[in-house]
Amino acid sequence: MNEVEIIKVEVSENNNLLVSPVIGERIGEDLYQYIYRMATGVYWDKEKQSFASPVPREWSHSQWFENIVHCAKSELGVALVTTPKTRWVNISEKEKEKMVSYASTNT
């Protein structure tokens, strides 16, 4: 399992969730683009260099975060982890706490 740091978690202007991982030489966009194969609604946004969710209707942003982390792990073999350097943009403290907790227990 490859562990990859999340550099930014953001709720976009469109209200969808963007999770931006580090892109390295061995693991990156070439692999990340295949996350759509599980047909869970998660996709790779090439322009934003982020995993993205659709606009939440029934799920909260933290539930979409959990789905993105789960899909990356099960489909791509990538454990997405938050760090003290992870930037949080337009994320409430309550949602951030849920996301950090989930990421730390699912590596």
Q: Hey, where are the domains in the chain?
A: 2-105
What residues are paired with 19 via a beta bridge? 9, 51
pLDDT of residue 28: 65
Surface-to-core class of residue 88, CB atoms within 10 Å of its CB (0-12 exposed, 13-18 middle, 19+ buried): middle
Report the first-to-last Cα separation within the chain, whole angstroms: 9
Tokens 């991982």 belong to residue:
21
Q: Tell me if the domain spanning 2-105 has CATH number 2.120.10.90.
A: no
Length of the chain: 107
Question: Between the CA of residue 25 and those of 28, 59, 89, what are the distances in Å?
Answer: 7, 33, 26
- pLDDT, one tens digit per residue, over 51-101 is 999 887 889 999 999 999 999 999 888 999 999 999 999 999 999 999 999
Q: Give the three-state DSSP class for 73.
A: helix
Closest of 107, 96, 93 to residue 19, by C-alpha: 96
Q: What pLDDT sits at residue 23?
A: 84
